[in-house]
Structure 1
Amino acid sequence: MAESREAKGRKWARPRYVPRRKFCAFCKDKSEVIDYKEPEKLRLYITDRGKIAPRRKTGTCAKHQRLLASAVKRARHLALLPHAPVHIREAEGAGLRDSSR
């Protein structure tokens, strides 16, 4: 098996995908204030499940991630943002017994 690897001429394969470095949007705009009164801006940093998105996904720096987390928590406390996603009941409830019996 070692011979077939050397026969190809490549011992280590190059990574095919190199991720781009994400930059902090708050540092780029030089905006130090992350306001809890702007829920539409904060929604960009919340997942569809209602969780605060991690730094590796959003690209924010550590300083602004901390400020963002406290702003989101404050907005949730004042009911500007939901704590959890909206629950949608499906028609003809799944798993319920038939009541005609």
Structure 2
Amino acid sequence: MENYNSRIHIYFDIKPNPDFFKDSTNLLNRQLNSIFVALKGDIQSTPDFDTRVTVSTEKNYIVLSISSNNISKFRATIISLLRLIDLSYSVIHVDK
């Protein structure tokens, strides 16, 4: 039986207005933590569909580790999580 594995590192680049945001590192950490909490909650509340997902944070990025024995479920999990990350980022990212 084949096993499919993926380790995804997610980085964000922010360009805040220097007059408004004095500490861009703090802002980046808050954004990463917000997305981490959203992912962690979604992963814990979703039943096991033959995929194993773990999420963690490193210095300035999020790490998703995904594994499965079923390629369809593996791909569906990756796509779902990437869509959730994109949605979370678009909600918390402030351009103006």
TM-score normalised per structure 1: 0.28
- Structure with the higher strand share, 1 or 2: 2
